[in-house]
Amino acid sequence: MRSEREVKMIANFQIKKMWSLASKLNMTKDDLYALAGVEHLHDLTYVQANDVVSKLLDFEMSALGEGVMINKNQEKKIWALMYELKKYDTKDYGVSVGDRLCKIIEKELKITARRKNPFIWIDYKAANKLIEILKKYVANAKRKAEVCGKKSTGD
């Protein structure tokens, strides 16, 4: 049997707290709803809302512990490297640049990446690591393209 506290619905202060923390973490509406596991925050009970707030606080603390979350300049650099990588591809992988980035993030950083916002769980330190990894990917692709005789366009 459920206790009275479990069936109590979410309070407005909890919703405000969730949005505040999500904003600090650069989360989208979809990211917050995915974390909460609901289509609308009002569907949460009081206890479930406390669990979501707790998770968000944990993410905030881990982000502070690592410095800060990924910044816009790092995101731009990562996308630039991904498009440079695509430029040197000698074969068509049949996936979009965004999907390929998500797979690289999952493989190299062991972080789940979603197509809508692949950087949501990447902190500053991990972003720097990803940039260095992508530089190596680009160098290898460039070397392979030169061996295969494919010349890049736009250089």
Confidence of residue 66 (pLDDT cuts 50, 70, 90): low
User: Would the pLDDT of 155 be above 90?
Assistant: no
pLDDT at 67: 54
- Distance CA(82)–CA(19), nearest Å, equals 31
- Largest Cα separation within the chain, whole Å, is 71
Helix 124-148 and helix 72-88, axial crossing angle in degrees, nearest 10: 20
9 phi and psi angles, rounded to 5 deg: -80, 165
pLDDT at 64: 60
User: Would the pLDDT of 153 be above 70?
Assistant: no
Q: Considering the entire predicted model, what is its pTM?
A: 0.55
Per this entry, what is the length of the chain?
155
pLDDT at 96: 92
pLDDT, mean over the chain? 85
Cβ-contact 10, 42 below 8 angstroms: yes
pLDDT at 59: 79
